[in-house]
């Protein structure tokens, strides 16, 4: 796991963003930030549940936690987030669940295993971005061998640790999600969190101009 700032300007509020499988800082450069700082957690080839300890959060009075796709699961089992509970004012999950590899509440395990065996970057991009694929032409991705490592580790960690009782205040779901079935996410969060639907593919971030508007959803 890696952690780095996308925006750092000494604001009082930090958006702590656990991104999805295959994510890279270039995928979110179009999102501006004026009133918030943004820290990105990504690359799950090596799992470090205490990675937030590497981030200086002392200067922030408010933290907004955002999890996207597999990042929803990673954030839910990140133990050192407990030390930030008093500062976290909002928890937003986007197109993922705390049980990401699950027949009912996530990606079917058999499908996930087939994806590991036959990972194809171009197919993944098409499912991720759908009609917005041309906008991602300059995005950086790991090589397929490295993406396979990331999938293998996420699968292993999902078997080792789970926290299905982690509470997300708000959930953003894409009705045209080709990676995490919308109905599976809905089944997991129904009755637990406020759900907002968007008529978008799995990667919904092209629909926002800045982090403030995303967090205000």
> So what's the pLDDT on residue 54?
78
SS3 41: strand
Query: Average pLDDT in the 73-87 region?
Result: 91
Q: What is the pTM of this model?
A: 0.96
How far is 101 from 114, CA to CA, in rounded Å? 13
Name 17's bridge partners. Answer: 40, 66
Locate the domains of the chain by residue range. Answer: 2-215
> So what's the pLDDT on residue 137?
96
> So what's the pLDDT on residue 56?
86
pLDDT of 51 > 80? The answer is no
**8-28 exposure pattern, b = at least 16 Cβ within 10 A, e = fewer:** eeebebbbbbbbbbbbbeebb
pLDDT in tens, 91-118: 999 999 999 999 999 999 999 999 999 9
CATH class of 2-215: alpha beta
């Amino acid at each position: 796991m890696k952690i780095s700032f996308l925006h750092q300007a000494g604001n009082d509020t930090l958006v702590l963003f656990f991104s999805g499988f295959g994510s890279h800082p270039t995928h979110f450069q179009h999102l501006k930030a004026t009133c918030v700082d943004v820290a990105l957690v990504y690359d799950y080839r090596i799992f470090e549940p205490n990675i937030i300890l590497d981030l200086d959060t002392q200067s922030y009075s408010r933290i907004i936690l955002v999890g996207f796709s597999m990042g929803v699961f990673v954030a839910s089992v990140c133990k050192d987030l407990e030390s930030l509970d008093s500062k976290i004012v909002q928890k937003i999950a986007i197109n993922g669940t705390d049980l990401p590899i699950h027949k009912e509440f996530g990606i079917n395990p058999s499908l996930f295993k087939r994806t590991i065996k036959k990972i194809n970057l171009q197919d993944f991009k098409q499912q991720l971005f759908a009609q917005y694929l041309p906008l991602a032409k300059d995005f950086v991705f790991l090589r397929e061998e490295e993406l396979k490592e990331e999938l293998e580790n996420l699968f292993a960690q999902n078997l080792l640790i789970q926290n299905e009782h982690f509470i997300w205040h708000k959930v953003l779901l894409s009705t045209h999600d080709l990676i995490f079935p919308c109905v599976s996410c809905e089944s997991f969060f129904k009755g637990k969190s406020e759900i907002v639907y968007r008529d978008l593919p799995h990667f919904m971030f092209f629909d926002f101009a800045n982090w403030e508007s995303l967090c205000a959803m």
